[in-house]
Structure 1
Amino acid sequence: MNPELLKDLVQMRMPFGKYQGRLLCDLPEYYLVWYHQKGFPAGKLGMLLATLYEIKLNGLEYLLQPLKR
């Protein structure tokens, strides 16, 4: 796993939609599940959301905690 992806998850904000302005790492799991079913957007944002989906699905949120500080 690329550590830069994890860093981006705690620094980048959602650029659009219901959760616009919220840090990606703070997006609710059900929102990521919805994206997983409908398809993640193309590009870096989609890759980050897919990574966050896998992190939350597998209970690995603790990996992000040290980076949020």
Structure 2
Amino acid sequence: MDCRGGNDADIEACEISYEAGEDLAALHGCEDRWDNYMLCLDEELRCANRTWTHDNDCDNERDAYNDCIN
């Protein structure tokens, strides 16, 4: 997703995606791993060349969340 020049529809799509991830985490009892992943993204995400990136800084948290829900 572009991190510059978004509109209301882009923001709404992002919020829906977040809520779906949160719901999936709750369904599988993985809320703590979801929270850790979201906290990492909150701290590490930055806009580079109009794209959100964390330079793989949150891969461990993402993998732990994915392992839990799968």
Task: Note whether the superposition's TM-score is higher than 0.5.
Answer: no
Q: What TM-score do you get using the length of structure 1 for normalisation?
A: 0.32
Between structures 1 and 2, the one with greater strand share: 2
Q: Which has the larger radius of gyration?
A: 2
Point out which structure has higher relative CO (alpha carbons under 8 A, 6+ apart). Answer: 2
